A and B are shown apart, each in its own frame.
Chain A
Amino acid sequence: MTQASCHGDRSRPGALHDPIPTRPQLVLAGNPNVGKTTLFNALTGSSAKVSNYPGITVEVASGALTLPGGRIADLRDLPGTYSVNARSAEEQIALDALIGLDGAPVPDAVVVCIDATQVARAAYLLLQCQELGARCVVALTMVDEAGAAAPDPHALAGALGCEVVAVTARTGKGLDELRAAIDRALRAERRAVWHWQPGRALRARIDAVTAALPTAWCTATRHGAAVPGADDALALWALTCIEPRTGDPDDDELKVPDALRAAVVAEPAPRDDEAVLARWAWLDTEIPPLVSRPPDRTLTRRIDRVLLHRAAGFAAFLAVMSVLFMSLFWWAQPVIDAIDELFKWCGLELQGVLGAGIFTDFLRQGVIGGVGTVLKFLPQILLLFLFLGFLEDCGYLARVAYLMDRIMRSMNLHGRAFVPMLSGFACAVPALMATRTMERRRDRILTMMVVPLMTCSARLPVYTLVIGALIPGSLWIKSLLMVGMYLFSVVTALIAAWVLSRTFKPLKAKRLPFVIELPPYRWPRPGDVVRMMWSKSSMFLREAGTVILACSIALWALLYFPRHVPDGTPDYDALVERAPSDGARDSLRAEKRAILLENSYGGRLGHAIEPAIKPLGFDWKIGVGIIGAFAAREVFVSTLGIVYAVGDEADEQSEPLRQALRDERDSHGARAYTPLVGISLMIFFALACQCMSTLAVVRRETASLRWPVFLFGYMGVLAWVTSFCVFQLGRLLGLG
């Protein structure tokens, strides 16, 4: 591949970049935990929107910012990063957005957040931005927290060579000055500022690589005029980050032109220490005189003495997690039930207005039922993100990773995967969304692949029905079996994580350092937490909810049409007319529904898949139930209720339904659903990913079809094989 280089082609100035854009493009950069999001929220107000970077699962928030004079600028919040030297996809976004590569708009100015309690470390990122020729403005955050330890903004500005504005986002103090400073920066000339000079050997390497930079990357192209020194910084970045090609397509190596890679690889290693050390040498000389003393961390130390204590810390951890778990499990339930009731009521009212008919059924069961299915996820999503937002912002979530790393790591999971996996006991949907708290894509996806194995609350009605109807023995045995199903799910999830991360290439652990910052404890800002709850919920409704709604309507149609009854079926409508009592009428109606369901497309599909599920001990009726359960696992119960003509109001406690299951006979007149079939069925439900909402959310969170397909496939195979082994082995042992 031949690439025109900076030195080879300067004939297209301004080809990609309009020097006076109608709307200035700004980005907000900074380390994690420096109050970047709070500042972003304060600057953009209600205009912020969260969306995904195309193709990858990194979220970006963007919003509008009003500059002095009424000019509107677009502000994008970058993922928190310590450096622009990318290794992971997340970090590369920061670089792309900072300098406008890979389709990102060229930013006209960069606002760098510097934490007043950690000036030197936060300024490291600023140094890199300055070298790259960005117009930088520093927002000095956490000034109130630093107190007397905060540096004087003017002195800091003098040292760094760019404007520094102290802001307190909570009170809005400094925001206007920051806007004014951004406005001034936008009018300033672009220049690259280097606070250090490369040695002779490094200089020669930089020159060699600068010559190989592709035209599109050069400042002459990006900004319309060459910015002296900025191309060198890009060359230095290339020298630092580009590795020889491994030849492995799954390795997420940086997307760079081959010519540039070749030029970098031709330079001898090591290529990177000098720049890092030189920047730090400069920072260690310039910053300490400006910071009179270290910030007061007594409070954080005191809290950590308890929360990270060997015994007390673990107890506190268990207490926090129990509250989180119980809230998802019990506090959300009344709201979910209320939503359920509300939608049932709406459906009945609608039927009253429109009368019976196919269109009414479509609206009532398909549309209203589907919207209800989507909205029923909201209470748990809101609650989980209320907790997550609080725990993250106060600094405890990072400590969860610290406390749990030893256990989670043995399964190749991130320490932070603990919270999503725990939430998976309530519902996989919010749990999958909670994987966002992990920075790396690989960690997130591995967690998403195992979270759906946890025993979610939708499996409970199925287990309750099966255990209640089919498992003999005392209440003790039944309870133990239920506990056993929970343990089974934890063990399979952990084993699955271990196996997947060892066998499946994209999920293999990379040898990236697991160094996480434990930020000081801070009071979360309710506004930030509410904003996150809002953005997560609205994103769920918009992007996953629509898919779930479409699927539930499709599923309704599958189990509803063609409304054709076989010849020889009694005329139920006439029979209902003549029925002597209400009870008789109800049972006739239920019988009619059972026949309609059996002859629906879904019912025929149940018959069609019978040969495939027969070896697991299931017949076509369970097959129809499994198809219906795709809407949500608990629908299995009501679907069986229709199949057995006990009415779709049957719940897992329904004695007629339980009796019907016990009375079911196979073609030889023997009991169809033995306890062994019950066990096999529960194992199938424990392992199979037959939940369209889970799949819709995985598709949305991974921004790909590949992962939901993989999840459905691997869990389906696992479920079939395990149920098969259990059922067949049990029969061989004479348990059937």
Chain B
Amino acid sequence: MTSLAETPLGRAVAVHAVDGARAFRRRLLEMGLVPGTTVRVVTIAPLGDPLRIEVRGGQWSIRRAEAAQIQVAPR
């Protein structure tokens, strides 16, 4: 099991679990990052952080440290 922060660019993976503080976890779950959802890191910002991810057809900016809290599994 790896985290989203370690996922190579462009590879589609499935969310396994979201760790971290309660408010953070709830926010991500409510945005639709529930276990089983396909997620993909599209690009990294020019300064190395944050990451741009694609979830459910939408794009999000998420910091590396936050992406590290998202456990993912290969699809």
**A: which residues have CB within 8 A of B?**
82-83, 85, 87, 117-118, 120-121, 124, 240, 243, 269-270, 272-273, 276-277, 280-281, 284, 294-295, 297, 300, 304, 308-311, 313-314, 398, 401-403, 405-407, 409, 511-520
The answer to whether A515 touches B32, judged by C-beta atoms less than 8 angstroms apart, is no
Q: A398-B61, A515-B60, A517-B60 are in contact. Are A82 and B30 (CB under 8 A)?
A: yes
The answer to whether B47 touches A406, judged by C-beta atoms less than 8 angstroms apart, is yes
Known: A403-B45, A514-B63, A515-B61. 17 other contacts (CB 8 A): A83-B27, A87-B27, A118-B58, A121-B56, A276-B29, A281-B34, A297-B57, A304-B52, A308-B45, A311-B46, A409-B63, A511-B21, A513-B23, A513-B27, A513-B66, A518-B60, A520-B59
Q: A280-B34, A308-B45 are in contact. Are A118 and B57 (CB under 8 A)?
A: yes
Q: Hey, which chain B residues are within 8 Å of A276, CB to CB?
A: 26, 29-30, 34
Q: Hey, which chain A residues are within 8 Å of B46, CB to CB?
A: 308-311, 313-314, 403
Q: A124-B32, A403-B45 are in contact. Are A294 and B61 (CB under 8 A)?
A: no
Q: Hey, which chain B residues are within 8 Å of A311, CB to CB?
A: 46
Chain A to chain B contacts (Cβ below 8 Å), 27 pairs:
A82-B27, A85-B30, A117-B57, A121-B56, A124-B30, A124-B32, A240-B26, A243-B22, A272-B22, A276-B30, A280-B34, A308-B43, A310-B46, A402-B45, A405-B50, A406-B50, A407-B47, A511-B23, A513-B27, A514-B62, A514-B63, A515-B60, A515-B62, A517-B59, A518-B59, A518-B61, A519-B59
- Looking at the assembled complex, report how far the CB atom of A207 sits from the nearest CB atom of chain B, in whole angstroms: 22
Cα distance, A246 to B57, chains bound together (Å): 38
User: Sorted from nearest, which 6 A-B pairs have the closest CB atoms?
Assistant: A406-B47, A518-B59, A402-B61, A83-B30, A513-B24, A276-B29
The answer to whether A85 touches B26, judged by C-beta atoms less than 8 angstroms apart, is yes
Cα distance, A308 to B26, chains bound together (Å): 29
The contact size tier of chain B is 20 to 34
Contact with A along B10-48 (1 / 0, CB 8 A): 000000000001111011111110110000000101111
From the candidates A269, A406, A514, A518, name the one contacting B52 in the complex (CB within 8 A): A518
**Does B6 sit within 8 A of A, measured CB to CB?**
no
**B: which residues have CB within 8 A of A?**
21-24, 26-32, 34-35, 43, 45-50, 52, 56-63, 66
From the candidates B45, B56, B66, name the one contacting A120 in the complex (CB within 8 A): B56
The answer to whether A277 touches B34, judged by C-beta atoms less than 8 angstroms apart, is yes
Q: Hey, which chain B residues are within 8 Å of A520, CB to CB?
A: 59
Q: Hey, which chain B residues are within 8 Å of A308, CB to CB?
A: 43, 45-46, 52
B18: nearest residue on chain A (CB-CB)?
A273
Q: A276-B30, A407-B47 are in contact. Are A512 and B24 (CB under 8 A)?
A: yes
The answer to whether B66 touches A514, judged by C-beta atoms less than 8 angstroms apart, is yes
Cα distance, A270 to B23, chains bound together (Å): 12
